Amino acid sequence: MTKKSFDTVKYFRQIKEKLAEKLSTMTLEEQKEYLRKIREGEIKLA
């Protein structure tokens, strides 16, 4: 097996965990606003 310098699956799992942690305490409207800001680049997850 080759050694990877960047593991995509591990990276996106970390992003998913960060999102789940943040969104779990928000209302639906807050979640929509937060995700909109992420899509528009106002908030960076990495």
Those residues whose C-beta lies under 8 Å from the C-beta of residue 31, and which sit 6 or more positions away, are 23
Q: Does residue 43 have a pLDDT over 80?
A: yes
**What is the model's pLDDT at position 23?**
96
DSSP letters along 19-44, please? Answer: HHHHHTTS-HHHHHHHHHHHHHTSS-
Write the pLDDT tens digit of every residue in 9-40: 999 999 999 999 999 999 999 999 999 999 99
**What is the model's pLDDT at position 33?**
97
pTM: 0.71
